[in-house]
A and B are shown apart, each in its own frame.
Chain A
Amino acid sequence: MPRDKPAAEPAPITAHVVYDTYATFTVSRSWQPAVNIYERPDGLRVCVELAGVDKRQIDVRVEPGRLTIRGVREAPEPSPRGAGGSMRIVCMEIDYGVFERVIALPDRVDLGGVTSTYRSGWLWVHLPYQVSGRP
């Protein structure tokens, strides 16, 4: 289905479960990083909040109608060894493991021109629009 507005697919219910009391279901074992999406006349800028991820662990894919970002983030844990082998986890809120986020794209995006950069914990994906009137 062609669209003309970018839209982040709603996060499945798993993203909201933190304090809910009903069991929810997820087929994949992934979590969803948060995104901001900005639209400018020349295209879209998508910013994905992905602190602590090795950039090689991020896979950015575009295909007609959608952008998929996925990868793995290890839990940021200090080595227990320094503490004489003993450490306990007092609080663990940060998502870890496999992540995946799918964003629906308008048809105007020039799939060939998509680029991404990673700096200070943000993954920026630049999705230029096709130059209108191009032959």
Chain B
Amino acid sequence: MGKKRATRRTSEPVAADADSSQVVIPDTLPILPVRGMVMLPGTITPITIGRPSSRKLLDDSLPQSKVIGVLTQRDEEQEEPGIEELFNVGSAGLVLKLVRQPDETVQIIVHGLRRVVAGEAVRENPYLVARVSTPDEKPGSGRGFAAAVNQLRDQARELIAITPGVPEEALRVLMNIDDPSNLADFLVANLNLEVEQKQDLLEEFDVAKRVRAVHRHVSTQLQIQQLQQKIQQDVQTSIGDAQRKFFLREQLKAIQKELGDDGEEEESFVDQIRQRLEEADPPEAVMAEAERELNRLATIPPASPEYSVISGYLELIADLPWNIASEDELDLVKARKVLDRDHFDLEKVKRRLIEYLAVRKLNPEGRGPILCLVGPPGVGKTSLGQSVADALGRKFARLSLGGIRDEAEVRGHRRTYIGAMPGRIIQEIRRAGTNNPVMMLDEVDKLGADFRGDPASALLEVLDPRQNMAFVDRYLDVPFDLSQVLFIATANYMGNIPPALLDRMELIDIPGYTDHDKLAIARKYLVPRQLRENGLKAAQCKVYVSAVKTIIEHYTREAGVRELERQIGAVCRGVAATVAAKRNGRAKPVAVDDKKVRELLGPEKFVRELDTRTRTPGVVIGLAYTPTGGDVLFIEATGYAGAGKVQITGQLGEVMKESAAAALSLFKSRADQLGYDAAQLAKQDIHIHVPAGAVPKDGPSAGVAMYTAIASLLLGRPVRQRLAMTGEITLRGRVLPIGGVKEKTLAAARAGIKTVLLPEQNRRDMEEVDAKVKDKLTFRFVESVDQVLQHALGVKPANIKA
């Protein structure tokens, strides 16, 4: 390369317009959810990425574009937040660097470009992609504004100077930022503020207001720093004194040790433990064991690992409630009141719980069965356990079996190795502080799914009244009496409870709520609670029935009320934000109606797919019975060139395959009567897609739907709108009954189905179907697949009587 004359210029500020190649922000961006931080425009921020979905986002999108949306999640706990669980104002950021750690976490460095407002999600899986807009900021102007900016800069400079540990460059950057908006953002990024406070400032598009708000924070922090400095100076002298004494004492100790009279401190720890042990007053055998360990302790140097193992053990013995029990308040009327206070309806469940308590009252030593509450998530199983404890005046302990991997988690690890711990039962007892808490074995069915045998048998021992008065935790190694504990179990799905445990249990079903129930629960419990949790007073926020109805019908689809409560929470947070924003004005209450809900929650979650998807021949709405209640699902048949085979995609499993094969041969045998040329079939394969996760145990009940899907596809006739079906088929075309009618019809009603085809033999189950559901749905009972096609496709096979 040849020589080149350098351009010669004299004026022009450097750095101000270095970004001549402005990064263009597209109108849809992949959205990276972050927690515990807020990214501000102009900042360069390292972000550590652990979530698989976020890694996927980077993998997929970075080769195309380095610009991503960075949005902070409202709830840090959320693992896979949806768009409405993120604050909708964030920053577009340019990914500058990316480094992977050996453990697959990814660290990226992102340059915040500008504020973006996220709109609807165009994709939620495998990561979020959303529409974004980039509204302009409202720049500040006027002399007052200029003065405010200068004041802010001055105070910030003071703050930087006085705060220990701030890099020197910060001052330089501060003085070099001309743009007031950038200045405010720079300070927001580096001030010690809560995430919510930073988010509020990010959301402020009015620069003058932002500058003022940041100024307030800077002043406060400056005051605090000044105060701290003063205190520091005041105590400087006395600290010096104390420190000297400390060193002298240490020296004295060292001298004592040289002289051979150490062990003073150890003795005092031993004494202390001994005293606590005496207070705990464990049974004699336990005390004897503890004595032995105490004596060993005295012979071991305190720095050895064994010392801490033994002292940990002794502390456990001293902490356990060997003799502490709470007094039962077995007042059945009061108990009922407590149950009613916390839970709506659930009449049958409550009555059974009261009965159970009554029997215990009459016969405290009796060996009743263990109650197990069975039902879909969010119907109140866990919280009922808490209520039972409250009603009895007992402590509540919850053992979540969902995450448990091996038996040692129930029964503990032997003390022979460092890091050994007691099992969860003993841990919970220690935490409860009484030996008769209500102990909830939450989600026992999850236990069976991970492993069988030993952990379940450990639990059996815990539950067995002949054994549990002397439960031996491997770590504790001495028996503990669990016979006074009141165990209550919960499960989502009876089918997965290990059989040996199932034998000991009495199941109480909680089937799931109708929309009507949910409305009542929301009004009485969920709305007031969420208002409270979000710091809203009745005078600030009025929630109308239409709002709750809209959330129930359009933003949730579940048997329980967990999602409902979360969505109500999201609405409340939204309202709280607006209330907070207008904190100066005497605001009138925010009215939350259906419109407000749509505004706050965005586009509805379950836009009725029903109508659009079933326009195509081959798509049928089936009803499934799942661990989480009932569900509607699309069964979809598609034809491909092939050789007359049928293939199942999505949900796999033998039962499914058999059903599909049966459905196809049934269709073949009727092709003639239906006016279909069976020869055509030999030229194509049919794929039947059943969504994964929908039907664990209940394969055969999709038979009718598969048959209809095949017929609809091959005859080229779409299924009637808003019609759902369930039923098993035989090779001769008869329709056999299925289970879960109550749950399935509930799901159908909830999804907006109008007509449901049920097997004739399920007519007897209609009693258990909820009256509200009956109002919404029309039922057609069918005995043969020909009737099914007549209802669903409007075709009547020739020479068959309808």
**Interface on A for B, CB 8 Å cutoff?**
10, 12-14, 17-31, 55, 59-64, 66, 68, 70, 72, 75, 77, 80, 87-93, 95-98, 100, 102, 111-112, 114-119, 125
Contacts and interface: CB of A to CB of B under 8 A. Distances in A.
A23 B10 contact: no
Contacts of A115: 3-6
Contact of A17 (B15, B17, B44, B186): B44
Given A23-B43, A27-B15, A27-B179, A112 B8 contact: yes
22 contacts: A12-B173, A22-B190, A24-B43, A24-B44, A24-B173, A25-B44, A25-B173, A26-B42, A28-B15, A28-B18, A31-B96, A60-B7, A88-B58, A89-B62, A89-B98, A92-B95, A92-B96, A92-B97, A92-B98, A96-B96, A100-B15, A117-B4
Contacts of A87: 63
Contact of A25 (B8, B14, B189): B189
Interface residues of B, number: 58
A51 to B, nearest CB: 14
Secondary structure of the A contact surface, majority rule? mixed
Contact of A93 (B14, B15, B99, B186): B99
B45 A23 contact: yes
A68 B8 CA distance: 10
A29 to B, nearest CB: 4
Nearest to A119: B1
A97 B96 CA distance: 9
A77 B65 CA distance: 11
Contacts of A93: 97, 99
B169 A55 contact: no
Nearest to A30: B18
A89 B59 contact: yes
A75 B169 contact: no
Given A62-B6, A92-B97, A29 B111 contact: yes
Contact of B8 (A30, A61, A117): A61
Contacts of A61: 6-9
A114 B3 CA distance: 10
Contacts of A23: 39-40, 43-45, 189-190
Contacts of A62: 6-9
A127 to B, nearest CB: 9
Q: Give the one of A10, A23, A24 with max B CB within 10 A.
A: A23
A24 to B, nearest CB: 5
Nearest to B177: A27
A30 B19 CA distance: 7
A70 B170 CA distance: 23
Contacts of B63: 77, 80, 87-89
Given A28-B19, A62-B8, A87-B63, A118 B39 contact: no
A40 to B, nearest CB: 18
A29 B18 CA distance: 7
Given A17-B46, A88-B59, 18 more contacts: A12-B173, A21-B46, A25-B185, A27-B182, A29-B18, A29-B19, A29-B23, A29-B111, A60-B6, A61-B6, A61-B7, A64-B10, A88-B58, A89-B59, A97-B94, A100-B14, A116-B4, A116-B6
A98 B46 CA distance: 19
B109 interface: yes
B6 A125 contact: yes
Contact of B100 (A60, A91, A96, A116): A91
A13 B45 CA distance: 12
B46 A63 contact: no
Nearest to A111: B8
User: When A and B form their complex, which 8 residue pairs have the shortest distance between CB atoms, in order from nearest?
Assistant: A28-B18, A88-B59, A29-B19, A92-B98, A23-B189, A25-B186, A23-B43, A13-B169
A121 B109 CA distance: 25
B176 interface: yes
A117 B2 contact: yes
Most buried by A among B43, B60, B95: B43
Contacts of B176: 27
Contacts of B102: none
Contacts of A92: 62, 95-99
B10 to A, nearest CB: 5
A128 B7 CA distance: 15
Contacts of B62: 88-89, 92
B21 interface: yes
B61 to A, nearest CB: 10
B453 interface: no
A53 B274 CA distance: 75
